[in-house]
């Protein structure tokens, strides 16, 4: 490639390897291969292609941000099944249901197959030629757009997809990359950062003797569920650790707890301080604890805490005693802690227990420093979307590009993103499926599926060093008119900044050059081609970093007692996150629609969970259609009687209620995002998703709840799932 | 087949199998151990089974009629008796991965009027689709309710193009009127056993896994060859003191977790479950 018009510093930036890696050795192999030579004819198959025999290729799962290494079984040119990649430190050869369903995302009958452009009669198919003309006209070298006039709205994005995106924006003198995540953990990350100095510490689950989880569904919908599940399996081997889960609505993880407590939503921080109060009665814990912590907890005695939280004072004592007896422990907070007007303080109070218990350096460490900061994932927040929405509503945004997020579906009704989009003259969506947000765009571009495209991914949670995960096509693209996200961006970039990008025929060559250029950092002495081939074969390149240490600081906490329930809105409303549906982006996958939600076994629907005692008092039976009314809006759903819920709380799963997203998603259930009240965390400005309160109204209608469980949810004396007391189990003698 | 024939077959069947040492000289006897303390109820196994075995998605209406085709499902219970013992599930939920138990004396086998369901030499309870006439006696007789009937011709509509490209070519797509069930991923076993035979050996431990065992993030499912005394599954059965040929197990001491579900029905299942453990003091 020519270096004449491009200085070396820019060159590295183009490839996303400036920063720590800027000390790389000089140019080595930079030849460009387009990947075309990989296409093979079955008339003259290569030696390793045997008809009837499946071959596994490594890639990376793109179904969530965990970055699991996967292996795709490819046979006669088709990808058939995904397994975990044993080389991956994250997946360790395992895979979840959501990951498995990646093949259905790829073969989905409702994939977008051609570019669409909005004309008189709405979005109609156009050729790529036209699409490129439109893109060039709006975003090409002659585009007058500058700075915040252009906005790139994405979900979490990492690796070279992120680098290219930000380089693209830079050609507009813009840094306006907005990352939105409907299930944002920004509040919890901020609290963790404030108290431990790390947004997402490493949890050494397998080393913990006791895990106290406040609503963190780490086995289901948490930060890296497959990795956590693998660690959890070790945690349950001899000497078996104990899991205590405290949350308003039982999550999948809560179902695995040794002891599960229902808590009044929003009082988790107060309970944590109550536990701290009890712990600090012991001299061993109070020794060396700063006076400010002692002052903070002094008013939170057991009885006071018990009144507010609904957790008995005996239970508070018992939890503290177990933390006292089982070290090291691990205390974690999840969405049900963060989603409140004082979510930051709630989560920080929970983290404070780790400091008092001395878990830092034992079960909690800082993640290794990243050699390539530009490749790390951008993590979404709600307020980023709210800011963008304001700019759009004020007419400041002239062009909006959307990738990997669907705010028209997931934003609450008090953030009318779809309406604001009408103020933006040019809106482009990069999608595999026409979703609600793409439906509001002017130009919709059909992407390759994750199993057809190249990419690199870097996960938020890196259990051991840093793994840069490679995604490679497992088969030829199904639709000739679909294109890779990287290829589309690169084509525009080549026009805007030809001196930097003209040498790359496609995203593949860009990726290969970038990775090979980064080779010295990975301390590999192989030739460039070997390094690249190994990376593709293994599905990852690993950088051996050491965990870092965590700090301990005490931010100011505000933990008022939540207001009492009122007669207008007598129930707490807790939206639940399904491990397979997440924010709703997977609702188009039939395997997941038909996969019973584990706690309720309900399929293909939305429902509202209510405690049997509450239901009895209100004379509600399973299948009664209820109207769930908040101050913001209402939805209707079937009642499901669920014992794992705090009795003043009702819960609905997120993810259903799509109006677009294909045949398997539309017309299924309702969308509870739309009834969330405009309540925000006081520090981070994040939407307080667990703070809405609702009223229930019986409509008099009734429908059968379609679910997998039979008429009884009990074992009726048959030995189906037997339970053994931990003190009787002889796990150390087992194989 | 007359009723007397049925009864006669039943009696001979019940007295013929299993017996001690039945698989001593056999190369293979497939078996499983499922650790209910490791199972987290995540449904990775169930989706893996859909992907591997061409299970059709039936949709809400048919699911509601009990026509779901999940060969493995996660059952979720709230108590061992017939009611909650407290206001809340204090010790979590009880998750049970339920699949065909590959019974040695399978109640489904002798009632088949056409011999479509039979026992394979490696100890699997198999279903021969092209013999099946859809009497559904087998399903009626299965105490685990793990047999699934094709009430509809799913190839017509369960895989709208191009979803059919995902179908596993090694597994038959079943048509209307036949019964189907978990095969312990027979297609994987067959391919593996054939390869091993070509190479003049038997399969090594862990060389072939069922799709559910391979996916399981907590490795709660252990699959292997019970005829190979050194295999992990055989060592676990022995360690848990479960004997394939006995219908009640004597344990040398308390706290040994292995048991078979509904063993008292003399079905001699090939799956040992390990009791869920809970710290009840917590």
Cα dihedral B110, B112, B116, B118 in deg (nearest 10): -10
Instruction: Give pTM, 2 decimals.
Output: 0.94
* Strand stretches in B42-190, DSSP E: 73-77, 94-98, 117-119, 125-127, 147-149, 179-181
Domain count, chain A: 4
> What percent of chain A lies above the pLDDT cut of 70?
94
Length of chain B: 282
A142-155: pLDDT as tens digits: 999 999 999 999 99
Pick from A365, A385, A408: which residue ends a domain?
Answer: A365
Q: Quick one: pLDDT band at residue B207, thresholds 50, 70, 90?
A: very high
Are A269 and A347 in contact by the 8 Å Cβ rule? The answer is yes
Give the closest of A109, A663, A718 to B262, CB-based.
A718
Chain A residue closest in CA terms to B38: A233
Are A375 and A468 in contact by the 8 Å Cβ rule? The answer is yes
DSSP line for A629-642: EESS-EEEEEEEE-
Cα dihedral A79, A84, A86, A90 in deg (nearest 10): 130
In a domain, A722, yes or no: no
Q: What value of ipTM does the predicted structure carry?
A: 0.95
* Record: contact B42-A219, CB cut-off 8 A: yes
- Together in a domain, A92 and A215: no
pLDDT of residue A289: 85
Domains of chain B: 3-274 (3.30.70.20)
In a domain, A321, yes or no: yes
* Record: contact B92-A731, CB cut-off 8 A: no
CB count within 10 Å of CB A711 equals 4
**Residues on chain A touching B273 (C-beta within 8 angstroms):** 721-722
In a domain, A12, yes or no: yes
Tokens of A307: 């009144």
- Together in a domain, A21 and A123: no
* Record: contact A724-B214, CB cut-off 8 A: no
- Together in a domain, A358 and A234: yes
Q: Is residue A58 predicted with pLDDT exceeding 70?
A: yes
pLDDT of residue A29: 34
In a domain, A551, yes or no: no
Q: What is the mean pLDDT of residues A237-253?
A: 97
Closest-CA residue to B55 (of B65, B45, B41, B40): B45
In a domain, A159, yes or no: yes
- Together in a domain, A679 and A694: yes
At residue A144, what are phi and psi to the nearest 5 degrees? -80, 0
Average pLDDT for chain B: 94
Give the lowest-confidence range in A99-113, A278-292, A442-456, B107-121: A278-292
CATH number at residue A356: 3.40.228.10
- Together in a domain, A378 and A327: no
In a domain, A692, yes or no: yes
pLDDT of residue A290: 87
- Together in a domain, A201 and A286: yes
Average pLDDT for chain A: 93
pLDDT of residue A27: 36
Pick from A365, A392, A420: which residue ends a domain?
Answer: A365
- Together in a domain, A527 and A604: no
Q: Quick one: pLDDT band at residue A527, thresholds 50, 70, 90?
A: very high
pLDDT of residue A77: 86
In a domain, A731, yes or no: no
Q: Quick one: pLDDT band at residue B193, thresholds 50, 70, 90?
A: very high
Please give the DSSP secondary-structure letter assigned to residue B228: S
- Together in a domain, A104 and A122: no
A482-495: pLDDT as tens digits: 999 999 999 999 99
> What percent of chain B lies above the pLDDT cut of 70?
95
The better pLDDT of the pair A76, B200 is held by B200
The minimum CA-CA distance between B62 and chain A, rounded to whole Å, is 9
Q: Is residue A101 predicted with pLDDT exceeding 90?
A: yes
CATH number at residue A662: 2.40.40.20
- Together in a domain, A581 and A614: yes
Give the lowest-confidence range in A278-292, A634-648, A671-685, B202-216: A278-292
A1-40: pLDDT as tens digits: 344 455 656 666 777 765 444 444 333 333 334 444 455 5
Pick from A446, A470, A494: which residue ends a domain?
Answer: A446
d(C-alpha A342, C-alpha A688), whole Å = 9
In a domain, A198, yes or no: yes
Q: Which domain holds residue A124?
A: 116-133+144-183+374-446
Please give the DSSP secondary-structure letter assigned to residue A3: -
Q: Is residue A643 predicted with pLDDT exceeding 70?
A: yes
B55-76: pLDDT as tens digits: 999 999 999 999 999 999 999 9
* Record: contact B42-A229, CB cut-off 8 A: yes
pLDDT of residue B48: 98
Q: What is the mean pLDDT of residues B158-162?
A: 96
Mutate to test the interface with A, among B232, B278, B280 (most CBs of A within 10 A): B278
CATH number at residue A413: 3.40.50.740
**Residues on chain A touching B91 (C-beta within 8 angstroms):** 257-260, 723
- Together in a domain, A51 and A94: yes
Closest-CA residue to B274 (of B253, B254, B259): B259
- Together in a domain, A211 and A340: yes
Are A70 and A83 in contact by the 8 Å Cβ rule? The answer is yes
- Together in a domain, A200 and A272: yes
> What percent of chain A lies above the pLDDT cut of 90?
89
* Record: contact A256-B90, CB cut-off 8 A: no
């Amino acid at each position: 490639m020519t270096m004449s018009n491009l200085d070396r510093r820019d060159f590295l930036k183009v490839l996303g390897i400036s920063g720590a890696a800027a000390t790389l050795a000089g140019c080595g192999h930079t030849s460009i291969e387009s990947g075309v030579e990989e296409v093979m004819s079955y008339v003259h198959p290569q030696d390793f292609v045997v008809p009837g025999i499946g071959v596994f290729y490594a890639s990376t799962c793109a179904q969530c941000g965990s970055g699991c290494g996967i292996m795709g079984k490819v046979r006669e040119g088709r990808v058939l099944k995904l397994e975990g990649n044993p080389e991956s430190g994250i997946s360790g050869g395992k895979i979840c249901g959501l990951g498995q369903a990646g093949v259905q995302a790829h073969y989905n009958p409702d994939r977008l197959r051609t570019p669409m452009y909005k004309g008189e009669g709405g979005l109609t198919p156009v050729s790529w030629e036209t699409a490129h003309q439109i893109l060039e006209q709006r975003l090409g070298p002659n585009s007058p757009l500058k700075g915040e006039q252009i906005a790139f709205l994405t979900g979490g994005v990492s690796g070279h997809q992120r680098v290219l995106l930000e380089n693209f924006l830079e050609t507009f003198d813009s840094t306006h990359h907005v990352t939105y995540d409907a299930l944002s953990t920004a509040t919890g990350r901020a609290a963790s950062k404030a108290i431990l100095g790390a947004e997402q510490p490493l949890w050494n689950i397998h080393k913990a003797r006791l895990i106290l989880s406040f609503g963190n569904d780490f086995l289901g919908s948490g930060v890296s569920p497959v990795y956590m599940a693998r660690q959890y399996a070790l945690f349950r081997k001899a000497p078996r650790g104990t899991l205590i889960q405290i949350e308003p609505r039982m999550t999948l993880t809560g179902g695995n707890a040794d002891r599960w407590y229902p808590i009044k939503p929003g009082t988790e921080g107060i309970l944590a301080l109550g536990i701290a109060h009890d712990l600090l009665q012991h001299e061993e814990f109070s020794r060396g604890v700063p006076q400010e912590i002692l002052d903070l907890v002094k008013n939170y005695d057991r009885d006071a805490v018990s009144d507010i939280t609904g957790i008995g004072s005996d239970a508070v004592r018992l939890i503290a005693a177990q933390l006292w007896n089982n070290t090291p422990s691990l205390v974690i907070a999840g969405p049900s802690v963060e989603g409140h007007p004082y979510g930051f303080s709630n989560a920080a109070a929970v983290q404070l227990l780790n400091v008092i218990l001395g878990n830092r350096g034992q079960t909690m460490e800082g993640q290794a420093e990243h050699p390539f900061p530009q490749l790390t994932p951008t993590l979404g927040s709600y307020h980023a979307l709210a800011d963008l929405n304001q700019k759009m509503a004020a007419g400041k945004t002239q062009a909006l590009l959307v990738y990997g997020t669907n705010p028209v579906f997931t934003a609450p009704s008090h953030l009318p993103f779809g309406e604001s989009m009408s103020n933006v003259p040019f809106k482009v969506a990069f999608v595999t499926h026409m979703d609600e947000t793409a439906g509001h765009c002017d130009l919709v571009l059909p992407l390759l599926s994750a199993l057809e495209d190249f990419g690199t991914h870097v996960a938020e949670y890196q259990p051991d060093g840093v793994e840069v995960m490679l995604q490679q096509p497992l088969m030829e693209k199904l639709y000739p008119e679909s294109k890779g996200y990287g290829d589309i961006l690169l084509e525009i970039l080549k026009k805007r900044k030809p001196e930097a990008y003209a040498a790359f025929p496609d995203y593949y060559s860009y990726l290969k050059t970038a990775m090979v250029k980064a080779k010295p950092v990975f301390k590999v002495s192989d030739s460039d081609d070997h390094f690249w081939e190994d990376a593709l074969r293994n599905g990852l390149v690993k950088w051996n970093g050491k965990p870092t240490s965590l700090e301990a600081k005490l931010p100011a906490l505000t933990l008022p007692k939540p207001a009492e329930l009122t007669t207008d809105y007598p129930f707490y409303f807790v939206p639940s996150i399904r491990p397979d549906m997440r924010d709703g982006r997977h609702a188009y996958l039939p395997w997941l629609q038909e996969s019973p939600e584990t706690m309720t076994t309900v399929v293909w629907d939305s429902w509202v969970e209510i405690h049997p005692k509450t239901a009895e008092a209100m004379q509600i039976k399973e299948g009664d259609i209820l109207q769930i009314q908040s101050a913001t809006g209402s939805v209707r759903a079937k009642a499901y009687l669920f014992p794992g819920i705090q009795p003043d709380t009702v819960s609905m799963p997120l993810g259903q209620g799509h109006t677009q997203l294909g045949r398997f998603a539309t017309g299924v259930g309702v969308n509870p995002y739309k009834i969330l009240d405009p309540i925000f965390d006081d520090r981070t400005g994040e939407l307080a998703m667990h703070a809405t309160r609702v009223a229930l109204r019986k409509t008099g209608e009734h429908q059968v709840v379609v679910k997998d469980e039979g008429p009884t949810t009990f074992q009726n004396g048959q030995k189906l799932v037997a339970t053994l007391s931990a003190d009787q189990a002889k796990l150390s003698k087992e194989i | 087949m007359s009723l007397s024939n049925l009864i006669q077959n039943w009696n001979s069947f019940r007295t013929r199998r299993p017996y001690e040492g039945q698989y001593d000289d056999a190369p293979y006897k497939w078996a499983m151990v499922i650790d209910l303390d490791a199972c987290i109820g995540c449904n990775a196994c169930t989706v893996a089974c859909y992907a591997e075995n061409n299970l059709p998605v039936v949709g809400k209406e048919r699911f509601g009629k009990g026509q779901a085709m999940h060969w493995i499902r996660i059952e979720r219970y709230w108590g061992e008796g017939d009611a909650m013992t407290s206001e809340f599930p204090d010790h979590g939920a009880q998750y049970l991965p339920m699949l065909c138990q590959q019974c040695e004396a399978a109640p489904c086998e002798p009632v088949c009027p056409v011999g479509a369901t039979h026992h394979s030499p490696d100890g699997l309870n198999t279903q021969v689709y092209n013999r099946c006439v859809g009497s559904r006696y087998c399903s009626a007789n299965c105490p685990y309710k793990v047999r699934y009937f094709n009430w509809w011709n799913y190839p017509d509509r369960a895989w709208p193009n191009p979803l059919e490209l995902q179908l596993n070519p090694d597994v038959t797509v079943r048509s209307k009127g036949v019964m189907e069930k978990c095969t312990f991923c027979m297609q994987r076993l067959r391919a593996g056993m054939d390869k091993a035979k070509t190479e003049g050996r038997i399969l090594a431990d862990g060389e072939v896994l069922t799709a559910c065992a391979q996916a399981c993030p907590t490795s709660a499912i252990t699959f292997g060859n019970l005829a190979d005394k050194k295999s992990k599954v055989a060592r676990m059965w022995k360690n848990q003191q479960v004997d394939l040929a006995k219908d009640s197990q004597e344990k040398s001491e308390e706290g040994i977790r292995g048991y078979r579900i509904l063993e008292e029905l003399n079905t001699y299942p090939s799956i040992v479950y390990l009791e869920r453990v809970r710290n009840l003091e917590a």
